[in-house]
Chain A
Amino acid sequence: DTAVSQTPKYLVTQMGNDKSIKCEQNLGHDTMYWYKQDSKKFLKIMFSYNNKELIINETVPNRFSPKSPDKAHLNLHINSLELGDSAVYFCASSQLGYGYTFGSGTRLTVV
């Protein structure tokens, strides 16, 4: 019973490609997020979705776009991948006032 599941776990792709990472939560949480963790383990929020409405959009390139078909899903689509996009991307969900539940991460390597 995985609470927050994201796929794929590993993604190796060439520069310039377009790729998507999928995320699903079965907790009934209202808000979902995407975080990027760099090689120094620093976590930076990228997007937050609440009831299909974008409420936080950190200064990320517009090559990154979140897509939420419903409350339980928040996918991350990345266009024209660059070397600097290599990182671990985490999906998370939460209910207001409580801790987050994170997925296990997607390690993206752009070559």
Chain B
Amino acid sequence: SQQGEEDPQALSIQEGENATMNCSYKTSINNLQWYRQNSGRGLVHLILIRSNEREKHSGRLRVTLDTSKKSSSLLITASRAADTASYFCATPYSGGGADGLTFGKGTHLIIQP
């Protein structure tokens, strides 16, 4: 079943601005991941944040996790045209098993030059 929900569904900003996307989920998790998908391409793993972490950085990306609110955010600083893509949060599959993931519907980010 679907676990994560991204917000907003679409976001358009000017190049150089910061972009923030949010993700809410329903059940307890041990980690949450963010992925990027460029048009017509596969998904690319960006960051994995574990349940005992509150914040994680990778280059211009900053991810936060609030397990009490069951929410996460992805911040992209100093955005570039190449950041135009869909961004998905993913959480472990609630049906059990090994490490399957369920994905939200994604945030479509457009960076205006």
Binding site for B on A (CB under 8 A): 4, 31, 33, 40-43, 45, 48, 50, 55-56, 58, 90, 92, 94, 96-105
Known contacts A41-B105, A45-B101, A100-B101: A56-B95 contact under CB 8 Å = yes
Bound CA span A29–B86, Å? 26
- Check B98–A41 contact: CB distance below 8 A: no
Name the CB-closest residue of B to A54. Answer: B97
Name the CB-closest residue of B to A105. Answer: B42
Q: How far is the CB of B47 from chain A (nearest CB, A)?
A: 8
**Count of CB-CB pairs between chains A and B under 8 Å:** 62
- Check B43–A100 contact: CB distance below 8 A: yes
- Check B48–A48 contact: CB distance below 8 A: no
| Interface size, B (range) | 20 to 34
B31 at interface by CB-CB < 8 Å: yes
Residues of B contacting A102 in the complex (Cβ-Cβ under 8 angstroms): 35, 42-44
B45 at interface by CB-CB < 8 Å: yes
Bound CA span A42–B102, Å? 10
Name the CB-closest residue of A to B102. Answer: A45
B88 at interface by CB-CB < 8 Å: yes
- Check A97–B45 contact: CB distance below 8 A: no
A99-B45, A102-B43, A104-B42 given; name 12 further pairs at CB < 8 Å: A41-B37, A56-B97, A58-B95, A96-B99, A98-B48, A99-B35, A99-B48, A100-B33, A100-B35, A103-B42, A104-B41, A105-B42
